[in-house]
Amino acid sequence: MTPIIGSGFDKNLKQTTSGRNVKPPQLDILTPSSIAEALSLLAEYGADARPLAGGQSLVPLLNFRLSRPEVLIDLNQIPDLDYIRDAGDQINIGAMTRERSIEFSDLIHDEAPLLLEATKNIAHLPIRSRGTIGGSLANADPAAEYPAVALALEFTFVAQSVRGERRIASHNFFQDILTTALEPDEILTEIIVPKIPDNSGAAFVEIARRHGDFALSGVAAQISFEDRMPTAARLAACGAGPIAMRLTATEEILMEEGIGEKAVKAAAAAAAAAVDPMSDHHASASYRRRLTGVVTTRAIKKAVDRAEVMA
Ligand SMILES: Cc1cc2nc3c(=O)[nH]c(=O)nc-3n(C[C@H](O)[C@H](O)[C@H](O)COP(=O)(O)OP(=O)(O)OC[C@H]3O[C@@H](n4cnc5c(N)ncnc54)[C@H](O)[C@@H]3O)c2cc1C
């Protein structure tokens, strides 16, 4: 499916699609082997270049000629971007870590179950074997699962360029449909994920037309408790508008009114009212809005059931 990341891609620093049986317009592919080398190439080519991660979104965009860079900076030969590390009360994940590696990580299983469950909802295993966490977040698809988890858990994004390193909070990272705060000369290098606190439960619930499709509506929820009352509620939705959306009104209702039937109903209604979904050939905006209420209810109930303290 992705000829430009096929054979003959690994040996030379500079290759070209010219003369190959590919659909994108002619472009050069540069394969740096270190972050520093990638940054200097990106500084040199600027807006004419795009980083290439798993290629699961970028290659279709190239094939449809919706994206027309002159140069691809392939990040696949940079081992320093592929890791999952325990860092105290947080987990540091290299941007080129495959979605499949996250899915099968014991550390993510134990300490970031919301991220794990969201990952299982992304496409199918072959796509998760190529797709990366950095690529998904930098792509900022409004229906993708990771941006919703990033907003709910308040990830921190580490971006590097030849100008230096900066950290971007998740609420500043996603700016518009397929648009993030990353500058053209920046690479997302690391994602910092807070571990789940004790006495908490988490759930990612979505509805898609078929398993593996992008969500029509999805909700990420993580709720912490003390004496069976919520002490923190973190919820965000995908398929909610041009970008994923933090469900603050829903969080406030749970914090103020608890998790009884009436409160959960009000919290779900607040979620449905907050989102601004788009109509397309998969579903109308009003149907997606209704679905948001349904998945919010399910996510809250699952998260509550999974909090050991509530058992
Ligand atoms: C059939 C199919 C179904 C899918 N279903 C889902 C789904 O249900 N849910 C879902 O969330 N995703 C889905 N995806 C998307 C996929 O899972 C990937 O997460 C996603 O395509 C991006 O990851 P990637 O590594 O392939 O990035 P790429 O496609 O290589 O890149 C995507 C964009 O991010 C930029 N980029 C990549 N890495 C960086 C970086 N480190 N720094 C700066 N910019 C960067 C690229 O330049 C490009 O603009 C699906 C894909 C396919 C083909």
Return the pLDDT at 311.
61
Ligand 1 mutation target, pool 39, 56, 175, most atoms within 8 A of CB: 56
Confidence category of residue 9, pLDDT binned at 50, 70, 90: very low
Note whether residue 13 is domain-resident: no
Domain boundary among 12, 42, 75: 75
Question: Do 187 and 206 share a domain, yes or no?
Answer: no
Domain boundary among 146, 164, 194: 194
List the structure tokens of 246.
């933090």
127 CA from centroid of ligand 1 (Å): 9
| Residue having the nearest C-alpha atom to atom 51 of ligand 1 | 56
| The dihedral formed by the CA atoms of 95, 102, 62 and 19, expressed in degrees to the nearest 10 | 90
Ligand 1 mutation target, pool 9, 42, 57, most atoms within 8 A of CB: 57
Question: Do 190 and 204 share a domain, yes or no?
Answer: no
For 245-250, what is the mean pLDDT?
98
For residue 45, the domain's CATH number is 3.30.43.10
- For 156-183, how does the pLDDT look when each residue is reduced to its tens digit (9 = 90+)? 999 999 999 999 999 999 999 999 999 9
Percentage with pLDDT > 90 across the chain: 84
136 CA from centroid of ligand 1 (Å): 4
Question: Do 162 and 264 share a domain, yes or no?
Answer: no
For residue 140, the domain's CATH number is 3.30.465.10
**Ligand 1 binding site (Cβ under 6 Å of any ligand atom):** 50-58, 75, 95, 122-123, 127, 130-132, 134-136, 138-139, 144-146, 182, 187-188, 214
Question: Do 204 and 296 share a domain, yes or no?
Answer: yes
**129 has pLDDT over 50:** yes
Q: What does DSSP say about strands 84-87 and 28-30: parallel, antiparallel, or unpaired?
A: unpaired
CB 182 within 8 Å of CB 266: no
134 CA from centroid of ligand 1 (Å): 8
**16 has pLDDT over 90:** no
Q: Would you tell me how many other CB atoms lie within 10 Å of the CB of residue 261?
A: 9
Question: Do 144 and 184 share a domain, yes or no?
Answer: yes
Separation of alpha carbons 123 and 4, rounded Å: 21
**208 has pLDDT over 50:** yes
For residue 297, the domain's CATH number is 3.30.390.50
Ligand 1 atom at shortest distance from the alpha carbon of 132: 25
Question: Do 63 and 149 share a domain, yes or no?
Answer: no
| Residue having the nearest C-alpha atom to atom 1 of ligand 1 | 123
Note whether residue 19 is domain-resident: no
Note whether residue 66 is domain-resident: yes
226 CA from centroid of ligand 1 (Å): 38
Return the pLDDT at 14.
43
**6 has pLDDT over 70:** no
For 224-242, what is the mean pLDDT?
95
DSSP codes of every residue in 152-199: HHT-EEEEEETTEEEEEEHHHHEEETTEES--TT-EEEEEEEEPPPSS
Question: Do 280 and 221 share a domain, yes or no?
Answer: yes
Note whether residue 169 is domain-resident: yes
Ligand 1 mutation target, pool 74, 139, 176, most atoms within 8 A of CB: 139
Q: Domain total for the chain?
A: 3
CB 32 within 8 Å of CB 13: yes
Q: What is the largest CA-CA distance in the chain?
A: 67
Question: Do 108 and 168 share a domain, yes or no?
Answer: yes
- For 68-81, how does the pLDDT look when each residue is reduced to its tens digit (9 = 90+)? 899 999 999 999 99
Q: What does DSSP say about strands 164-169 and 174-176: parallel, antiparallel, or unpaired?
A: unpaired
Nearest to 121 by CA among 211, 221, 220, 235: 211
Return the pLDDT at 227.
87
Confidence category of residue 251, pLDDT binned at 50, 70, 90: very high
Separation of alpha carbons 173 and 166, rounded Å: 12
Return the pLDDT at 78.
98
- For 209-225, how does the pLDDT look when each residue is reduced to its tens digit (9 = 90+)? 988 888 999 999 999 99
If one compares 37 and 310, the residue with the highest pLDDT of the two is: 37
Note whether residue 6 is domain-resident: no
Note whether residue 177 is domain-resident: yes
Question: Do 71 and 102 share a domain, yes or no?
Answer: no
Ligand 1 mutation target, pool 5, 59, 127, most atoms within 8 A of CB: 127
| Residue having the nearest C-alpha atom to atom 6 of ligand 1 | 123
Question: Do 67 and 99 share a domain, yes or no?
Answer: no
Domain boundary among 194, 211, 236: 194
Question: Do 122 and 208 share a domain, yes or no?
Answer: no
Ligand 1 atom at shortest distance from the alpha carbon of 214: 8
- For 18-69, how does the pLDDT look when each residue is reduced to its tens digit (9 = 90+)? 444 457 888 999 999 999 999 999 999 988 999 999 999 999 999 988 888 9
**123 has pLDDT over 60:** yes
Separation of alpha carbons 136 and 118, rounded Å: 12
Q: At what angle do helices 145-153 and 113-120 cross, to 10 degrees?
A: 170
For 258-285, what is the mean pLDDT?
95
| Residue having the nearest C-alpha atom to atom 37 of ligand 1 | 135
**Torsion sign (Cα): 2, 143, 221, 189:** positive
**17 has pLDDT over 60:** no
Note whether residue 10 is domain-resident: no
For 260-279, what is the mean pLDDT?
96
| Residue having the nearest C-alpha atom to atom 38 of ligand 1 | 135
Question: Do 69 and 124 share a domain, yes or no?
Answer: no
Give the amino acid at 7.
Answer: S
For 222-230, what is the mean pLDDT?
94
Residue-number span of the structural domain to which 179 is assigned: 84-194
Note whether residue 146 is domain-resident: yes
For 83-112, what is the mean pLDDT?
98
CB-based contacts of 243, cutoff 8 Å, min separation 6:
140, 142, 147, 174, 175, 176, 177
